[in-house]
Amino acid sequence: MGLLSKKDANLILDPLADNNPITIQVLGICSALAITAELKASLVMAISVIFVMGVGNVVISLMRNIIPSKIRIIVQLIVVATLVIIVDLVLKAFAYELSKTLSVFVGLIITNCIIMGRFEAFALANGTWRSFLDGIGNALGYGVILIIVGFFRELLGSGTLFGIPVLGDPIAKTGLYATGYENNGFMIMPPMALIVVGIIIWVQRSRNKALIED
Amino acid sequence: MEKRTDKNSYTIIFAVGMVLVVGTLLAYASSSLKDRITTNRELEKQQNILYAMGINENDESNAIFVSTKEAPKLFTEYIKKQLVIQGDNVTEDNQAYLIDVKKEQTNAKAGKERRLPLFIGEKEGVTYYIAPIRGKGLWDAIWAYIAMDENMVVQGAFFDHKGETAGLGANINKRFFMDDFIGEDLMSNGKFVGIKVAKGNADPLNIDKTDNEVDAIAGSTITGDGVSAMLRNELRLYVPYFENLKNN
């Protein structure tokens, strides 16, 4: 990473693994459960959050010296809500199809606790460039987990990836289904998302013992 | 010494200022984009109606609308009549597709007579009667455009939703669900019964078209029930029109 100093690079890299917002900080779990039944939704959500988080962190960071501390949470909420609504309006006007795909996520983005968490913990105390990197890094860390969970849930639950059948036809019993394999309907239910996230946390901590809390 | 930003007066001024700035910004964005958004919505309605009567660009497995550029032209070409049904009164109105079904439902609850839009399309000599309907899913509104023949046998259906769960209830706008409705009878022995989205109806390929049932989507019971209820409650209102059609 010649472009970034080591410290700056860590802002992006840390949240991908050792300080992942979902598996380590356990933030943003609600949306991770709600929308990961299919890979496409996970990807769309990941991209939306990367955008909102990058821009949001910059805005909060620019305002950090003038935000009154007593109402800072409300101010943060207004910033993220305004950003999301403006993006939604612009998409509705210029990319209507895309906005329909996103509509369900708009509310989920506003209430995503990772966004508020990074505003509060980082952007309020750091410069614009570093806040931007921190926002992108955390959103990427969130997105990676979302995509992993979405991959397994869609593959095992519906036998498809991005809506394309990859294991054969479950009704006509072709491909893998000819051997007696069945889709696991439980995978598309929210509880299984929690279990998949749990497994990721387990794998991650077993490989890096330093992450285990006492 | 107290920081400047901790003072009550500063906090209040900041709050008021922020509300003004954000309010102006949002109001400006909303009003300047309003026309485009309305146009997009109208085009979408035309695409939906055309889709229901089989005018679409579906590939093997995906539901694809005709392009927004083509939609207005095809709409005037294929939709022969737009009717507004109000009790026994049937009037023609070429803006009927703009009738807001949600508003009409609210009006009906308030005791006013509901205006029911119905679009009559013709393709390759076959006449389609397309009704826009609206109901409740699990999280928010669901709606549909149902194309029927004069015997109330479904010829095509388009479902959509505002915010059903991605990967579950949201799949009502996928072809594997919508296509099951084609050929299903809304009547049973001359009586209107609707079409039930049924779990475990032992007919996943949907071969039986007279059982008034289609196969449900696993994991979306409430959205499916919402679809059943919407079809039953809304299409029922059109029954008198179809009866009249037969008697004449």
Encode pLDDT of B179-237 as tens digits: 999 999 999 888 999 999 998 777 777 788 888 899 998 888 999 999 999 999 999 99
Highest mean pLDDT among A191-195, B130-134, B162-166: B130-134
Helix (H) or strand (E) holding B140: none
Q: Would you call B27 an interface residue with chain A, using a CB distance cutoff of 8 Å?
A: no
Q: Is A103 close to B162, i.e. CB distance below 8 A?
A: yes
Q: Is A67 close to B5, i.e. CB distance below 8 A?
A: yes
Q: Would you call B98 an interface residue with chain A, using a CB distance cutoff of 8 Å?
A: no
Cross-chain CB nearest to A78 (options B18, B44, B174): B18
Which residues of chain B have a CB within 8 Å of the CB of A38? 166-167
d(CA B145, CA B159): 7
Q: How far is A87 from chain B (nearest CA, A)?
A: 10
% of chain B surpassing 70 pLDDT: 99
Mean pLDDT over all residues of chain A?
Answer: 85
Q: How many CB atoms are closer than 10 A to CB A9?
A: 15
**Checking phi first, is residue B125 left (phi over 0); if not, alpha (psi -120 to 50) or beta?**
left
Sequence letter at residue A170: P
Contacts of A148 (CB under 8 A, 6+ apart): A196, A200
Q: H-type helices in chain B, by residue range? A: 8-52, 71-78, 101-109, 175-178, 221-235, 239-247
pLDDT band of A208, cuts 50, 70, 90: confident
Window B:54-83, CB contacts with A under 8 Å: 62, 68
- Range with the lowest mean pLDDT among A131-140, A168-177, B48-57, B137-146? A168-177
Q: Is the ipTM of this complex over 0.90?
A: no
Sequence letter at residue B122: E
Q: Would you call B170 an interface residue with chain A, using a CB distance cutoff of 8 Å?
A: yes
| pLDDT value at residue B201 | 75
Q: Is A71 close to B5, i.e. CB distance below 8 A?
A: no
pLDDT, average across residues A56-85 = 90
Q: Would you call A82 an interface residue with chain B, using a CB distance cutoff of 8 Å?
A: yes
| pLDDT value at residue B33 | 92
Is the pLDDT at B239 greater than 90, yes or no? yes
Which residues of chain B have a CB within 8 Å of the CB of A101? none
The closest alpha carbon to B119, from B232, B230, B241, B247, belongs to B241
Q: Which two tokens stand for residue A61?
A: 């960071």
Q: Which residue has the higher pLDDT, B233 or A209?
A: B233
| pLDDT value at residue A98 | 76
The SS3 assignment for A83 reads: helix
Q: Would you call B17 an interface residue with chain A, using a CB distance cutoff of 8 Å?
A: no
| pLDDT value at residue B20 | 95
Chain B residue with CA closest to A154: the answer is B167
d(CA B228, CA B158): 14
To test the contact with chain A by mutation, choose from B5, B13, B28, B159 the residue with the greatest count of A C-beta atoms within 10 A, namely: B5
To test the contact with chain B by mutation, choose from A100, A124, A153 the residue with the greatest count of B C-beta atoms within 10 A, namely: A100
d(CA B59, CA A49): 31
Is the pLDDT at A1 greater than 50, yes or no? no
CA geometry: angle B183, B189, B191, nearest 5 deg: 90
Say how far residue B217 (Cα) sits from the centre of its chain: 19
Mean pLDDT over all residues of chain B?
Answer: 90
All structural domains of chain A with their residue ranges = 34-205
Contact B220, B164 (CB under 8 A): yes
Q: Which residue has the higher pLDDT, A97 or B23?
A: B23
pLDDT band of A100, cuts 50, 70, 90: confident
The closest alpha carbon to A58, from A77, A78, A72, A79, belongs to A79
pLDDT, average across residues B119-133 = 93
Q: Is A188 close to B14, i.e. CB distance below 8 A?
A: no
d(CA A130, CA A14): 13
Taking the whole predicted model, whether its pTM rises above 0.90 is answered as no
Is the pLDDT at B153 greater than 80, yes or no? yes
Is the pLDDT at B162 greater than 80, yes or no? yes
Helix (H) or strand (E) holding A51: helix A39-62
Which residues of chain B have a CB within 8 Å of the CB of A63? none
Q: Is B37 close to A93, i.e. CB distance below 8 A?
A: yes
Report strand pairing: A160-161 vs A164-165.
antiparallel
Is the pLDDT at B1 greater than 70, yes or no? no
